[in-house]
Structure 1
Amino acid sequence: MDANEWRQVLDAAWPWLRILTIWVLAWVVLRMIRRVLRLLKTYIIGRADQMRDARRVETLMNVFRYTANIVIVAVGIMATLGTVGISIAPILATAGVAGIAIGFGAQSLVKDFFTGLFLLIEGQVSEGDNIEAAGKSGYVERVTLRHIRIRDYDGSVHFIPNSMITTVTNRSRDYAYAVIDINVPRKENLDRVFRVMEQVVEDMRGDPAVGPLILEGIDMAGVEKVEDAAVGLRCRIKVTPSKQWRVRREFLRRMKARMDSVEEVQSAA
C-alpha cells in the first residue's frame, strides 16, 4: 500500500481510535475513583469508634460512586457524539432547559438531597440515635438522602423530609445527664435530704442492672426554688447516651421508697 492508501486507512480509522481512547480513559478514571473511594471507606471505617454507623459510610460511598459514574459516562457519550460528527450543542441546550424546568419543579427534592448529604457527611444523625428534629423526637430507625424515619415513645413513626430539618438535637452522643427535680417540705433538713440523695445514687451504682449506666456520681445543683409549702431541689447524674430517662425514673422510685421509710420511722418514734 502506498502512502495515500495508508493515509486513507488512518483517516477512516481515526474516529474509531478516538472513540476507543475516550472510553479507555473513562474506564481508567472510573477505576481510579473507585479505588480512592475504597481507600476512603477503609480509612473512615477504621475510625468506627468516632463514626458508629457503617451504613452511613456505605451510603456516602454509594452516592459518590453513582455520581462519578453518571458524570464520566455523560462526558464520554458527549465526546463520542462529537467524534462521529453529531453536534452536541442542541443536546446541551435541551438538557439545560430541561434541567432548569426540573430544578424549579423539584426544588424541595434537591434541598432534601443536599441536606441529607451534609447530615451524613457531618455525622449529625446516625441510625439508633435518639434525636429531636422538626418538632418530632424519638428513635432514629433510618437515615437516607431523602428523609429521616423516627419512631417516638408511643410507637408512631414520623417521616421527616431532610429539607424541613434546620436544627437537630441529638441525645445519644458520648454521654447524657439525667436532670432530676424533687420537692420536699420546707420543714425538711436539706443537708439530710442531700445525703439521702447521694446515698441513693451510690446504691444505684452498686446495682448490676443500672450501675453500668451511671458514669459519675451525683452532681448536686442545690435549691432550685422555694415555695410556700415546699422547696425544689435539683441534681443531675451523668449517664451513658439515651439512658437518662431510665436512670431518672429509677432514682425517683428509690428516692420515694427511701423517704417513705424515713417517714415511717419518724411516725413510729
Structure 2
Amino acid sequence: MHRPLQVLGYLMLAIVLRFVLHKLIARFTQRTASESARGPLLLRPLRDRAPATLKSSILAERRRQRAKTIGSVLESGVSVVILAWFVLSVLDVIGINVTPFIASAGIVGVALGFGAQNLVRDFLSGIFMLLEDQYGVGDIVDLGEATGTVESVGLRVTTVRDINGTVWYCRNGEVLRVGNMSQGFAVAVLDLPVAHTANLDEACAVAERATLAVVASGDFEDDLLGAPEMLGVNAVSADTVTIRITVKTRPGRQWAVQRRVHREILQAFDDAGVKAPYPQGRQGGMQSDMTV
C-alpha cells in the first residue's frame, strides 16, 4: 500500500517543483523594459551590447526576445531534469534496478548526439550568442553570406533582412564570424579619387574644409562623435591617387554621414578645380578610338 502512496508523493512533488521553478523563471524573464529601465531581471547580470541609438520599442523587443529564449531553455532543462528524476524514483520504488536504464540513456544520448550534431551545434551556438549578446534585434550585422538588419533571434535560426528587402534565415551553427556594425561606434570612411596631376595639398585642404562645413551645419550634431581626420594619400594606382578622410559617428549613422560628406566634397572639388582621375576629354578620346 505504501508504494502507490510513494509514487503519488513523488508525482505531486514533481508537479509542484516544476510549477514553482517555471514561475520563478517566468518572473525573471517577463519583466519588460517598460516596467524597468534596466530590462528583465534575468539579463541584468549579463552584458548588454545594445547600441544607445536604438529606439525604445526596438530595444525592448530585443531584450524581450533574448530573455524569452534563455527562459525557454531554462524551462526545458528544468522539465527534463524533473521528469528524469521522477521516472528513476518511481522505478526505484517499484523495485526495478535503474542502472541499466541509466546506461541505456547514456548510449541513446550519444547516438542522438551523433545523429543530430548539426542541430545540437545550432542550439549551443544560439545559447552562447544570446548569453554574450553578440547581436540582437535592430543591429546591422554581417554574417558572411547575409548582411542586413536583424529582425529576430532564436536558438536555432537568426533572421536578417538585407538592403533589398530579402529575408535571410541563418542557422546559428553555421555563423563562423559576426561583424556587428551597431556596437560602440562607427567610422565613416571616405576614399576620394583625384588625378595624378592634381595638387594633393590643395585637394586635402578642400576635402577637409568641406567635411568641417558639414560638421558645422549641425545636421548631424547627434551623430558625430569626433572631429574629421584627414589621413592624406591612402593609395596610388596607374590612373588615380586616393585621398582618405574619416569621421567617427554613432553606430548605424556612418552611411548617412558618408553620403552627405561625399556630396559636399564633390561640389567643393568642382568649385576649386581639383582634377578628377578621368577627365572628360580622355574619356571622349577613348570612345573615339574605340569607335574607329
Query: What TM-score do the two structures reach when normalised by structure 1?
Result: 0.79
The residue number in structure 2 matching 1:167 is: 177
Gaps of 5+ in 2: 30-39, 51-58, 275-292
- 1:119 pairs, out of 112, 120, 129, with 129
* Conservation of the 8 A alpha-carbon contact between 2:188 and 2:258: yes
Query: d(CA) in 2 for partners of 1:145 and 1:45?
Result: 20
Counterpart AA for 1:160: C
Equivalent residue for 1:35?
24
Match for 2:153 among 140, 143, 153?
143
Shift of the 228–99 alpha-carbon distance from structure 1 to 2, 3 Å rule, reads: closer
Alignment of 1:185-196 (within 5 A): 185-196=195-206
Q: Report the counterpart of residue 83 of structure 1 in structure 2.
A: 93
- Following the alignment from structure 2 to structure 1, what is the Cα–Cα distance between the partners of residues 23 and 80? 13
- Worse overlay, 88-97 or 157-166: 88-97
In the other structure, the counterpart of 1:107 is: 117
Q: What is the rounded CA distance, in whole Å, between the counterparts of 2:67 and 2:271 in structure 1?
A: 53
Measured after TM superposition, the shift of residue 145 of structure 1 is: 1.0
Q: 1:183 aligns to what?
A: 193
Matches within 5 A, 1:210-249: 210-227=220-237, 230-249=240-259
Structure 1 residue 242, shift from structure 2 partner: 1.9
Structural RMSD (CA):
3.0
Please give the alpha-carbon distance, in whole angstroms, between the structure 2 residues aligned to 1:214 and 1:174: 13
Aligned-pair CA distance for 1:193 = 2.7
TM-score (norm 2): 0.74
Quick check: which one's strand share is greater?
1
Q: Using CA pairs below 8 Å that are at least 6 residues apart, which structure has the higher relative contact order?
A: 2
Contact in 1 for aligned 2:206/2:272 (Cα 8 Å): no
Tell me the distance in 1 between the aligned counterparts of 2:219 and 2:44: 32
Counterpart Cα distance in 2 of 1:159 and 1:29: 33
Q: What does the per-residue CA deviation read over 1:86-129, in whole Å, with 9 as the maximum and x for residues that have no partner?
A: 44445445434433332222110011110111111111121211
Q: Is the alpha carbon distance of 1:122 and 1:154 closer, same or farther for their aligned partners in structure 2, counting shifts above 3 Å?
A: same
> For the pair shown, which has the larger CA radius of gyration, 1 or 2?
1
Contact 2:141 2:148 in 1 (8 A): yes
Task: Structure 1 unaligned segments of length 5 or more: list them.
Answer: 1-11, 265-269
Matching residue of 1:8: none
8 Å CA contact 2:188, 2:248 repeated in 1: yes
**1:6 counterpart residue number:** none
Q: Name the SS for the 1:225 alignment partner.
A: strand
